[in-house]
A and B are shown apart, each in its own frame.
Chain A
Amino acid sequence: MSGFLNGLKAGEWRGLILGAVIVALAATLPRFDDGFYLSISVNIMLYAALCTAWSLFSGPTHYVSLATAAFYGLGTYCVGLGIDILPYPLLVLVAALVGALVAGLVGAMTLRISGVYFVIFTFGLAELVRQLVTWTQTKFATAMGLYVFTDFNESHIYWMLLALTAAVFLTGFLINRSRLGFAMTVIGNDETVARHVGIDTARAKIILFMVSGAFIAIAGAITAPRYTYIEPPSAFNPMISFLVVIMSLLGGTRRLWGPLVGVIPFTIAMDFISARFPNHTSIVIGLAFFAIVYLLPNGVTGRLEQLWTKFRTRKPAEHGAVAEKQA
């Protein structure tokens, strides 16, 4: 562990400390409000965890996964099915394992094929899992849904989601500094080069997809007590998959904290819209998608970075990069 800390650069230290301060401040939120603001903060925290976990994989690979609802729903169902049998923390662990396992299987089957097919396959997967769960329940169980009774209140769920988000960030941070992270950067740049420098591209992608799937399943397991009554249409709601893609792309996936920039305003906006215009949410999502694709292909953070680079290169050359360009 000390070896790991020794290798940290000043900027990384600053990032870690800033992150710790933000987590500590965020943890005090339930002290101030336990109504509307806490409720919307739970939503924000949920999507912060989901989007950051999604971007761990989809950011560097540019593979758009619509399987978020599948992993999330599996996590919820792990809790729904096991709440009377196993202690809750163990169920969260089971959810992580199930998420990783399914991601591994799907990854092994699909990550060798090209991006477009991957999108369709992951979307199909979420629907398939939902149908399977529905079928199993109608066939072998008496009721469509499952009751989840726990002692957790909204604050507990908020804290657990905050801890999960922090864990996702820390994992992303560690991956970025590791060989795996470097491999993903090389793959994102040029997959042919990646293979020829000795990177097992399929394996790297599968590992990352599993990490991402596990975190998403944990998010499902954490929010399960919030539903009280779990049924397939809510647990495997495809809207979750779409919202995660939109929010992540809005924020930008090039930086670890990029998705967060999309999550916070979008969750608040969605809350406002679904309260005032409940029948028009799909229109808003559709328009948001167009706007992101056409106006912000690299997200808000990507756009900001672009502007920053432009600003810097306009200043007199201090870096040598400009001088070289003219040579």
Chain B
Amino acid sequence: MSAPVLSVSHARKQFGGLVAVNDVSFDVNEGEVIGLIGPNGSGKTTMLNLISGALSPTDGEIRLAGERISGMAAHQIARKGVARTFQLVRVLPSLDAEQNVMAGAVFGHRKLWGREAHELARGLLDLVGLAGRGHSPVSALTYIDQKRVELARALAADPRVLLLDEWLAGLNPSELQIGIALIEKLGREGRTIIMVEHVMDAIRSLCGRCVVMNSGRKIAEGDVDDVLSDPEVVRAYLGDDDDA
């Protein structure tokens, strides 16, 4: 088996007395789409923040293709090839869609500029379904379209690992189908994706494997169907039986 592209070992994040991520380890292989699931407040987004460098772990380490990235600043990790979207969509309001996407390509390890960056941005807007909308101000875009822009921006960096933080949340059923199809396409192209998601249908159809967290700990990992029928995972989501 080849070395994992991303390896999290014994990651821990503590905020004062609260341990948001507690001794979590998992590996992600090249080209794998992995789901990171768990009830609200279980530490999924914090885990993603540790990988992207928005937060640095209190303990443990994270390696990207063998190189230690935990402890690096977010911009350094981004340049190493980790790109992300945000739970609450973050677009750059004063720029148009194309410039928003360009931002992903200009400063990452690609370092494109000028016409190349514009062309890449246009191509990615096509890919996410926003062909010809490059010059729309992002504030005039609908919620799903803003999410598309954000995804295109992350892809513009040509990341080795793409982190999606509830990218499918807040979409209506038909948008959800479009969104799932889009991520599926990225997976087929060989992108390595870690997705935090509450939409179980999406996890089932997109992820080969998933990691389940509860109260900061990893409680299960493996094949999606197996993991979702794991009694501890069911208990984490639905609570204990009261008839003990």
Could you list which residues of chain A lie within 8 angstroms of chain B, going by C-beta atoms? 7, 179, 182-183, 185-186, 188-190, 192-201, 320-321, 324-325, 327
- Once the chains are docked, how many angstroms separate the CA of A195 from the CA of B92? 13
Partner of A195, one of B73, B136, B153: B73
Pair A190/B136 contact, Cβ less than 8 Å? no
Query: Are the C-beta atoms of B103 and A197 separated by less than 8 Å?
Result: yes
The contact of B54 among A7, A192, A194, A201, by CB within 8 Å, is: A192
In the assembled complex, which residues on chain A have CB atoms less than 8 Å from the CB atom of B79? 198
Are the CB atoms of A193 and B136 closer together than 8 Å?
Answer: no
Could you write out 26 A-B pairs with CB less than 8 Å apart? A179-B113, A182-B103, A182-B106, A189-B92, A189-B95, A192-B90, A193-B90, A195-B73, A195-B74, A196-B52, A196-B54, A196-B75, A196-B78, A196-B84, A197-B75, A197-B83, A197-B104, A197-B153, A198-B107, A198-B109, A199-B75, A200-B73, A200-B76, A320-B136, A324-B136, A324-B141
Size class of the contact patch on chain B: 20 to 34
Cβ of B38 under 8 Å from chain A: no
Q: Closest approach, in angstroms, between the C-beta of A204 and any C-beta of chain B?
A: 10
* Contact in complex: A7, B114 (CB < 8 Å): yes
Give the most central of B95, B133, B140: most A CB within 10 Å.
B140
| Measured CA separation A194–B92 after assembly (Å) | 9
Which residues from chain B contact A195 at a C-beta distance below 8 Å? 53-54, 73-75, 78
Q: Chain A interface secondary structure, helix, strand, loop or mixed?
A: helix
Q: How far is the CA of A182 from the CA of B73 in the complex (A)?
A: 20
Closest Cβ of chain A: how far from B101's Cβ, in Å? 10
Chain B, 110-149, CB within 8 A of any chain A CB: 113-114, 133, 136-137, 140-142
Instruction: Tell me, rounded to whole Å, the shortest Cβ–Cβ distance linking B119 to chain A.
Output: 15
A residues within 8 A CB of B73?
Answer: 195, 200
Chain A residue nearest in CB terms to B150 = A193
The answer to whether A199 and B92 touch across the interface, beta carbons within 8 angstroms, is no
B-chain residues with CB within 8 Å of residue A190 when the two chains form the complex: 90, 92
Residue of B nearest to A319 (CB): B135
Q: Does B208 contact A (CB under 8 A)?
A: no
A186 touches B92 (CB 8 A): yes
A266 to B33, CA, bound (A): 60
Q: How far is the CA of A190 from the CA of B91 in the complex (A)?
A: 8
8 Å CB contact of B108 from A192, A193, A198: A198
Instruction: List residues of chain A with CB within 8 A of the CB of B213.
Output: none
Residue of B nearest to A182 (CB): B106
CB-based closest 7 A-B pairs: A198-B107, A198-B78, A189-B92, A195-B74, A198-B108, A198-B79, A199-B107
Bound CA–CA A194/B153 (angstroms):
11
In the complex, whether B170 has a CB less than 8 A from a CB of chain A is no
Residue B157 is within 8 A (CB to CB) of chain A in the complex: yes
A80: shortest Cβ distance to chain B, in Å?
41
